[in-house]
Amino acid sequence: MSILKKPLLLCIAAVFALVAVANATQVIIPAYFYPGALWTLSASGGSKASVMVANPNNGPGSKVDANYKSAITAAQSKGVRVVGYVHLSYGTRDVNAVKADIAAWYSMYPTVDGIFFDECPATATGVSYVSAMQKVVKSYSKNLLVLNPGVYPVQSYMNLGDILLVFEDSYSRYVSTSVPSWVTNYSSSKFYHVVHTTTSSQYANALALAKQRRAGYVYITNDVMPNPYDTLPTYWSTELAAMSTATSVQEDDAVDVVTDGVLADQENAEIEAAAALAASVQQQLIAQGVVTNEDGSPAAPLTDPGVSN
């Protein structure tokens, strides 16, 4: 057993933290399919899946569906939060109809974790409308609110939604989309990207781009328009597995437009660089005699607990 002074132990722990950053990138699933095998498979990811969006009938529907009720509680039992779909028609839908849908979700499916506002406006003229609807959701105890403008909105919306879906389009458009500089002012946990029409060979780069662009939540699929949400991607197991190692960009780096392929190996490169730094610090401490065995002899290099080749 080696002996290490506490301040230096904390120093090495900080270096290892660069290698094993919290697994912040998670999946939010637009589960626009009826409860059954796909719902079960979606929920199998547990906390990696993070959130599922339930949508019985372009909203909660007019009566309780027992299959949805059991599917929601089953997903929650695995650590997945479920939010109910409510559309805003880009701020033109009657506010009483929106309020009725919100109330119906909490009445018919009382375990629901919050609301998903689809067709959310993105301009300054829609802020007061969304603010009023946000207050309704926040009056409930379980009130996670996901906004879907589908594009980067004016910044005022950042204070209204817990999570904002700021990209919803195809991979071909994703690789060249521009990202406003103000995204670096917010945690990656505020941003959600949906990238459809993404082949299996394009998946890795789509995920890397999402990380570069500070998306804490993603949904990447090879399903296509007109409804890319009627099934799970054929590479679902790969996507779910990636969530155990994918991390969001946390530092205030400039957000660049990145073209196809250039970021696919970024994550491995960053991990290898951090691991090399950790090893260098360890070797220096051992050489200085700071890290020793109990008998005073030089310690062997410490093993990084969070990195594997």
Residue type for position 75: A
What is the DSSP secondary-structure string of 15-79? Answer: HHHHHS-----EEEEEE-S-SSHHHHHHHTTGGGT-EEEE-SSSSS-SS--HHHHHHHHHHHHTT
Mean pLDDT, range 236-261, rounded to an integer: 53
Q: What is the pLDDT of residue 110?
A: 97
The topology (CATH level 3) of 24-249 is TIM Barrel (3.20.20)
pLDDT at 238 over 80: yes
Is the pLDDT at 5 greater than 80? The verdict is: no
Which of the two residues, 56 and 4, has the higher pLDDT score?
Answer: 56
In the chain, % of residues over pLDDT 70: 71
Confidence of residue 280 (pLDDT cuts 50, 70, 90): low
Dihedral sign of CA atoms 102, 103, 106, 108 in order:
negative
Question: Is residue 15's pLDDT more than 50?
Answer: no
Average pLDDT of every residue of the chain: 80
Looking at residues 46-65, what average pLDDT do you find?
Answer: 94
| CB half-sphere exposure, 252, CA atoms < 13 A | 5
| pLDDT class of 122 with cuts at 50, 70, 90 | very high
Overall pTM surpassing 0.85 (yes/no): no
